[in-house]
Amino acid sequence: RDNFSHSREVQLSDVFISVKTTKKFHTSRVNLLLETWVSIGREAVHFFTDANDSGLERKVMAGRLINTNCSARHARAALCCKMSLEFDRFLASKRKWFCHVDDDTYVNIPGLLRLLQQYNSNGDWYLGKPSLNHPLEIKDIETPNKKTAFWFATGGAGFCLSRGIALKMMPFTGGGKLKSICEKVRLPDDCSIGFIVYYYMNKELTVIPGFHSHLEGLWLIQPRDLENHITFSYARTGNTVNIVRVPGFPRDSDPTRFRSIHCHLYPNLPQCVKMKQ
């Protein structure tokens, strides 16, 4: 029955979802996640942050809030430091899938499990969605007059790596090595992961259209089709908002639309009953 083993259902406990966050977003962003999708996906979720927070620790499952001691800056070194620890904790967890998301991401948990189900975690899989409409081009690290061009999955849309590929990436990514690669190619964490997959693994990104960052037009997602999408995000730049146009709670009580998305997916939850007409 060995050839059937990979078609076994993917469970929450097979997936390691790491949420990257930082002290200043514990209240404004992480609480919203805890009150929405994390309440469904709890068993899979680990938060990676840069400060101790006993209040948040009480709300998260024991040991699932990890203070990386990386610096609290939105800079390459700090972000690569966090990603490197996310990766190490995943490897240590023995789980089948590593999925990274930012703290402004909603994860449709049943949708994610259905997606992962379609791939063998022992194989080499890098699942995600680019935000650029062209491959990223950099100077080749060995022959500087040559170029290296590759697609990478935007961290803000979420991406997943199978255990199979992660184990092979370990010499380049594990034990803090990711930080040196980030410096070598001078790229942020998500681009550097894409670089390692392409350059050292000789593998390509598998594009998953249902992953969505706020770098794309979230208003284009059809509300009646929400359950077929896997991640959502939100953003505000000046007076313009980029959000999923889902009916539900009033805009002032749900500016990100995450509570409305959540109730769309789980209409029978107590907090959702009042939203139903």
- Residues near ligand UDP (CB under 6 A) are 20-22, 25, 72-74, 79, 82, 102-104, 156
- Which CB atom, from 50 or from 124, has the smaller least distance to ligand UDP? 50
User: From the CB of 193, what's the least distance to ligand UDP, in Å?
Assistant: 14
Q: Quick one: which of 135, 108, 120 has its CA closest to 40?
A: 108
Residue 190 contact, options ligand UDP, Mn ion, none, Cβ 5-8 Å cut-off depending on partner type: none
Q: Quick one: which of 83, 92, 94 has its CA closest to 14?
A: 94
What 3-state class would DSSP assign to 189?
helix
Q: Please answer whether residues 210 and 230 qualify as being in contact, where contact means their C-beta atoms are separated by less than 8 angstroms.
A: yes
Tell me, yes or no, if 254 is annotated catalytic.
Answer: no
- Which CB atom, from 44 or from 263, has the smaller least distance to ligand UDP? 44
Distance (Å, whole) CA 114 – CA 225: 15
- C-beta nearest to ligand UDP: residue: 102
Which residues here bind Mn ion, judged by CB under 5 A? 104, 156
User: From the CB of 104, what's the least distance to Mn ion, in Å?
Assistant: 4
Structure tokens, 97: 């899938």
Residue 72 contact, options Mn ion, ligand UDP, none, Cβ 5-8 Å cut-off depending on partner type: ligand UDP
Distance (Å, whole) CA 222 – CA 117: 24
Distance (Å, whole) CA 38 – CA 58: 14
User: From the CB of 47, what's the least distance to ligand UDP, in Å?
Assistant: 10
Q: Is 186 left (phi over 0), alpha (psi -120 to 50) or beta?
A: left
- Which CB atom, from 140 or from 183, has the smaller least distance to ligand UDP? 183
Task: Measure the CA angle with vertex 195, ends 189 and 201; round to 5°.
Answer: 125
- Which CB atom, from 72 or from 273, has the smaller least distance to ligand UDP? 72
- Following DSSP, what letter does each residue of 166-183 receive, concatenated? HHHHHHHHGGGHHHHHHH
* 12: β partners: none
The values of phi and psi at residue 49, to 5°, are -130, -165
Of 50, 103, 104, 190, catalytic: 190
- C-beta nearest to Mn ion: residue: 104
User: From the CB of 275, what's the least distance to Mn ion, in Å?
Assistant: 26
Residue 266 contact, options Mn ion, ligand UDP, none, Cβ 5-8 Å cut-off depending on partner type: none
Residue 194 contact, options Mn ion, ligand UDP, none, Cβ 5-8 Å cut-off depending on partner type: none
Residue 53 contact, options Mn ion, ligand UDP, none, Cβ 5-8 Å cut-off depending on partner type: none
User: From the CB of 23, what's the least distance to ligand UDP, in Å?
Assistant: 8
User: From the CB of 47, what's the least distance to Mn ion, in Å?
Assistant: 16
Distance (Å, whole) CA 73 – CA 216: 24
- Which CB atom, from 22 or from 173, has the smaller least distance to ligand UDP? 22
- Which CB atom, from 181 or from 218, has the smaller least distance to Mn ion? 218
Residue 103 contact, options Mn ion, ligand UDP, none, Cβ 5-8 Å cut-off depending on partner type: ligand UDP
Q: Please answer whether residues 20 and 193 qualify as being in contact, where contact means their C-beta atoms are separated by less than 8 angstroms.
A: no
Question: Quick one: 256 exposed, middle or buried, by C-beta within 10 A (0-12, 13-18, 19+)?
Answer: buried
Known catalytic residues are: 190
